[in-house]
């Protein structure tokens, strides 16, 4: 996200960070998490899982730990947890 | 599992799901799994012990919900989820009874049970997954299929007007009426949580895509349906139930429409027919 100037409180705001975990063999490749991730963290991978679908893979470190993918995934195949030390 | 990062970790909802039955039967792109996840999240958010819940489902794709939740649940006969749930509630008023079923089960074959449970204000939380068709049996026209939509039994378009489910629930006497889509997962989970915690008949309609049996015949891929849910919906809490038709060209109104207080069926029944001196405990001690 680009701002026209640096926000005055940017030094005080704590941004949460998360790490996405994907349980690849549960995925049925519906693409909900990839399409609706607000930070566009995910993309389809080239490889196949045990069921023959392309599971998502993490493409960048922008995850904010909003848990939306976890809530939207119909297969209980993706979740995020807080990441510290960044 | 190959993925090293997940070793020793588990999905946070795994304690609420019968993992031995996963993968579930829902097709890739089906929204029922998302609604189910929101429902489990809501159950978790209430912080009520799991042994004080029970889930009842009817027949159909959504009816499988009761079989996948790892708490006491009941997979009942077609359309009869609400009568079974009413029985549970009258016998054990301390339980939080959730009815998780589909539009065909709750409103076509089970329509009569729905209106009477709403009229009597049974203390149930009814979650209706509305995928606009009979998904499990092959995409026949349902009571909620939109006007002119194609189905396997109306190849030239549905000639009939569908139900406006929130209006039906309100007119029957439901004390809490809301509608969301499966894409509004956070609002939906909060709404289900609120419905579980309150007393009275709560009805939540959830729109959900059926890519195989509805989407395919209406030239709609799953992500296109989700885009429609994103672009053509309006969140309007407290909207009048008469303006809530499902018409994506006009815009579908979502939100919490009705929230009123009324004495529940089991409460009034107990007050009138089971006055304190007549309870079984007293009779035993006498």
Exposure string over B140-162, b if 16+ CB within 10 A, otherwise e: ebbbbbbeebbbeebeeebeeeb
Judged by average pLDDT, the poorest of B48-62, B94-108, B202-216, B263-277 is: B263-277
Judged by a CB distance cut-off of 8 A, whether residue A54 touches chain B is: no
Average pLDDT over residues B89-110: 94
CB contact under 8 A, B29 and A81: no
Q: Do you find a cis peptide bond into B23, omega within 30 degrees of 0?
A: yes
Q: How far is CA B125 from the centre of its chain?
A: 8
Residues of A in contact with B29 (CB under 8 A): 28, 30
- The predicted pLDDT at position B198 comes to 94
Residues in chain A: 86
pLDDT of B5 > 70? The answer is no
**Helix and strand totals (H; E) in chain B:** 10, 8
- Residue of A57, A37, A69, A58 whose CA lies nearest to B13: A69
At B243, give phi and psi (nearest 5°).
-105, 25
At B243, which helix (H) or strand (E)? none
Residue in the block written with tokens 């919906």: B233
**B-contacting residues in A 28-47 (Cβ below 8 Å):** 28-32, 35-36
Q: β-pairing, B202-207 with B176-181?
A: parallel
pLDDT in tens, B215-230: 999 999 999 999 999 9
- The predicted pLDDT at position B3 comes to 47
CB contact under 8 A, A70 and B11: yes
pLDDT of B280 > 90? The answer is no
Given a contact cutoff of 8 angstroms between Cβ atoms, the answer to whether B185 and B34 are in contact is yes
Question: How far apart are alpha carbons B266 and B92 in whole angstroms?
Answer: 10
CB contact under 8 A, A23 and B3: yes
Of B11, B30, B38, the CB nearest to A76: B11
Domains of chain A: 23-77 (3.30.70.20)
Judged by a CB distance cut-off of 8 A, whether residue B213 touches chain A is: no
Which of A18, A23, A30, A49 is most worth mutating to test chain B (most B CB atoms within 10 A of its CB)? Answer: A30
pLDDT in tens, B63-85: 999 999 999 999 999 999 999 99
pLDDT of A40 > 60? The answer is yes
- Residue of A27, A75, A52, A37 whose CA lies nearest to B3: A27
Given a contact cutoff of 8 angstroms between Cβ atoms, the answer to whether B145 and B131 are in contact is no
Q: Which two tokens stand for residue A51?
A: 């069921």
Question: How far apart are alpha carbons B267 and B274 in whole angstroms?
Answer: 10
Residues of B in contact with A77 (CB under 8 A): 11
The burial class, CB within 10 Å (0-12 / 13-18 / 19+), for B193 is buried
CB contact under 8 A, B38 and A28: no
- The predicted pLDDT at position B2 comes to 44
- Residue of B27, B35, B31, B20 whose CA lies nearest to B68: B20
Q: Which residue of A has its CA nearest to B26?
A: A74
At B97, which helix (H) or strand (E)? strand B96-102
Q: Which two tokens stand for residue B165?
A: 């489910």
Domains of chain B: 27-285 (3.40.50.970)
3-state secondary structure labels for all residues of chain A: CCCCCCCCCCCCCCCCCEEEEECHHHCCCCCHHHHHCCCCCEEECCCCCCCCCCCEEECCCCCCCCCHHHHHCCCCCEEEEECCCC
- The predicted pLDDT at position B9 comes to 74
**CB count, 10 Å around CB of B269?**
14
């Amino acid at each position: 996200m680009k701002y026209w100037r640096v926000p005055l409180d940017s030094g005080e705001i704590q941004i949460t960070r998360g790490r996405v975990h994907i349980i690849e063999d549960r995925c049925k490749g519906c693409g909900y998490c990839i399409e609706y991730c607000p930070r566009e963290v995910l993309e389809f991978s080239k490889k196949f899982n045990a069921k023959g679908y392309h599971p998502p893979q993490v493409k960048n470190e922008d995850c904010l730990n909003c848990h939306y993918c976890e809530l939207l995934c119909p297969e209980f195949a993706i979740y995020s947890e807080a990441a510290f030390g960044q | 599992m190959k993925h090293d990062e997940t070793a020793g970790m588990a999905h946070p909802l795994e304690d609420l799901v019968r993992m031995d039955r996963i993968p579930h039967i829902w097709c890739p792109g089906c929204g029922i799994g998302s609604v189910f996840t929101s429902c489990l999240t809501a159950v978790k958010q209430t912080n009520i012990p799991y042994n004080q819940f029970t889930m009842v489902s009817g027949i159909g794709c959504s009816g499988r919900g009761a079989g996948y939740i790892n708490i006491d649940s009941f997979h009942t006969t077609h359309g009869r989820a609400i009568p079974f749930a009413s029985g549970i509630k009258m016998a054990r008023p301390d339980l939080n009874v959730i009815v998780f079923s589909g539009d065909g089960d709750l409103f076509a074959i089970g329509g009569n049970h729905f209106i009477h449970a709403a009229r009597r204000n049974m203390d149930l939380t009814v979650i209706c997954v509305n995928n606009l068709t009979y998904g499990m049996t092959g995409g026949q026209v349902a009571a909620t299929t939109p006007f002119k939509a194609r189905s396997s039994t109306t190849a030239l378009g549905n000639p009939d007007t569908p139900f406006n489910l929130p209006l039906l629930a309100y007119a029957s006497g439901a004390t809490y009426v809301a509608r969301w889509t499966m894409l509004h997962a956070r609002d939906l989970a909060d709404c289900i949580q609120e419905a579980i915690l309150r007393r009275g008949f709560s009805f939540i309609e959830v729109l959900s895509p059926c890519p195989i049996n509805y989407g395919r015949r209406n030239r709609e891929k799953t992500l296109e349906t989700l885009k429609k849910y994103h672009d053509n919906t309006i969140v309007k809490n407290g909207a009048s139930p008469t303006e809530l038709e499902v018409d994506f060209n006009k815009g579908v109104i979502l939100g919490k429409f009705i929230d009123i207080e009324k004495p529940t069926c089991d409460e009034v029944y107990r007050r009138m027919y089971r006055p304190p001196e007549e309870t079984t405990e007293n009779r035993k001690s006498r």
